C-alpha cells in the first residue's frame, strides 16, 4: 500500500544496473535511483532505455545545464535535485520548469534542516510537476527544535507551506550553538 523507491547510490556498473532494473520491473517501483554514478549520463541513459523501471537521478547534478544534459540524453524519468547543492530556490525553480517542459516530475533530494525543507516546500508549491519531497530528519532528536516557525513542520507525512513572511521558519541560534559534532553524531 506504499510506493517503494530504491536508492542505489551510484554503486553499480552498467551491466549490473541493467540487470537490476530489469529484475525489479515486476515491483513497479516508484523509482530506481542513481543505479550508476551520476557523472556518466550516457550509462544512465542506457539503463533507462533497457527497462520499464522508472529511473531517477539528480541529487549530484549542480546546475540547470547538467539537468538539460540528462533531459537531452533521455536518461531519467524523474529528477531529484538537492536544492542546497543545485543553486538554491531560484535555480531549483528553473530546473523544475525545464523538467516540466520535458514532462518529467521533480522529487527533490532533501537532507536539510527545517529551514532547507521549508525552502524546498515553497519552490515545489510553485511548480506543476512536483511529485514528492524526500525527507530524512525524523530520527534526529533535535531536528524540530533547530528552527522556529509553524510547527509541527511535518504532520501525518505532509508539510504545510507557511504563510508567514519569508519562508516561515528561522534558525534557532541557541539550539544551533548547542550542537557539538563528535565526529559521528551531534550531541547537545
Cα 157 from Cα 175, distance rounded (Å): 25
Confidence category of residue 32, pLDDT binned at 50, 70, 90: very high
Annotated catalytic residues are 9, 109
Judged against a pLDDT cut of 60, whether residue 188 lies above it is answered with no
Dihedral sign, Cα of residue 66, residue 67, residue 68, residue 70: positive
Q: Distance between CA 180 and CA 97 in Å, rounded?
A: 39
Is residue 73 within 8 A of residue 42, CB to CB? The reply is yes
CB 111 within 8 A of CB 80: no
CB 51 within 8 A of CB 22: yes
The percent of residues above 70 in pLDDT, for the chain, comes to: 94
What's the pTM value of the predicted model, to 2 decimals? 0.91
Give 183: exposed, middle or buried? Use CB within 10 Å, 0-12, 13-18, 19+: exposed
Residue holding cell 533547530?
Answer: 146
38-93 residue pLDDT tens: 999 999 999 999 999 999 999 999 999 999 999 999 999 999 999 989 999 999 99
What is the grid cell recorded at 162?
A: 507557511
- pLDDT tens, residue by residue, 118-155: 999 999 999 999 999 998 777 788 888 999 998 888 88
Mean pLDDT for the chain overall: 92
Tell me what pLDDT residue 58 has: 96
Pairwise CA distance, residues 69 & 117, whole Å: 26
85, exposed or middle or buried, with CB in 10 Å at 0-12, 13-18, 19+? Answer: middle
Cα 168 from Cα 31, distance rounded (Å)? 31
Burial class (CB in 10 A: 0-12, 13-18, 19+), 106: buried
**Predicted local distance difference test score (pLDDT) of residue 150:** 86
Amino acid at each position: 500500500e506504499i510506493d517503494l523507491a530504491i536508492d542505489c547510490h551510484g554503486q553499480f556498473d552498467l551491466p549490473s544496473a541493467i540487470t537490476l532494473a530489469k529484475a525489479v520491473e515486476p515491483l513497479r517501483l516508484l523509482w530506481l535511483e542513481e543505479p550508476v554514478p551520476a557523472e556518466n549520463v550516457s550509462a544512465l541513459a542506457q539503463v533507462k532505455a533497457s527497462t520499464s523501471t522508472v529511473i531517477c537521478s539528480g541529487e549530484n547534478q549542480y546546475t540547470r545545464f547538467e539537468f538539460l544534459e540528462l533531459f537531452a540524453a533521455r536518461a531519467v524519468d524523474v529528477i531529484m535535485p538537492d536544492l542546497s547543492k543545485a543553486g538554491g530556490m531560484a535555480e531549483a525553480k528553473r530546473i523544475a520548469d525545464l523538467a516540466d517542459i520535458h514532462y518529467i516530475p521533480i522529487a527533490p533530494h532533501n537532507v536539510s534542516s527545517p529551514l532547507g525543507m521549508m525552502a524546498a516546500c515553497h519552490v515545489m508549491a510553485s511548480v506543476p510537476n512536483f511529485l514528492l519531497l524526500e525527507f530524512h530528519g525524523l530520527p534526529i532528536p533535535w531536528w524540530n527544535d533547530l528552527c522556529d516557525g509553524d510547527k509541527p513542520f511535518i504532520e501525518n507525512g505532509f508539510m504545510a507551506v507557511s504563510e508567514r513572511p519569508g519562508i516561515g521558519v528561522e534558525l534557532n541560534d541557541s539550539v544551533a550553538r548547542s550542537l557539538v559534532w563528535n565526529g559521528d553524531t551531534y550531541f547537545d
